[in-house]
Structure 1
Amino acid sequence: LARNYLLSLPLCCKVPWNRLFPKADSKALDLLDKMLTFNPHKRIEVEAALAHPYLEQYYDPTDEVMNPDP
């Protein structure tokens, strides 16, 4: 059902994020683009997103709490 709906939508060209948000930080737009990638197999993973340059000032991998029992 969802696939049929998507196939029924008209094709359109991708609008660059910097055209929609011209004053936004380029690193933020890069991360946004990677997080909003439609194909989940091509979408950025959590670990890679946290290590992205836009978040480097907030994320410290040594500060991670690991659960020994998943």
Structure 2
Amino acid sequence: MEADKLIQAFTQVVRNQDYVFSPEAIATIPALRETIAEFETQAPQELAKVIRNWYINHEDVRDAVLMDK
């Protein structure tokens, strides 16, 4: 999936499908937010890598993102 589409799909899942976030995934959100903040000025491909690296451990979120593309 292209970086821009992945970022957009992830954003849509966060906004509209918060029920897919397990308690474990929710617990890691603060660290993800910090990492995303560090990459905001980077190329979209770098931000997409951050998101992929995070959701690899959260299958329900990953599946929702991949379905939302």
**What TM-score do you get using the length of structure 1 for normalisation?**
0.33
Higher share of residues assigned helix: 2
**What TM-score do you get using the length of structure 2 for normalisation?**
0.33
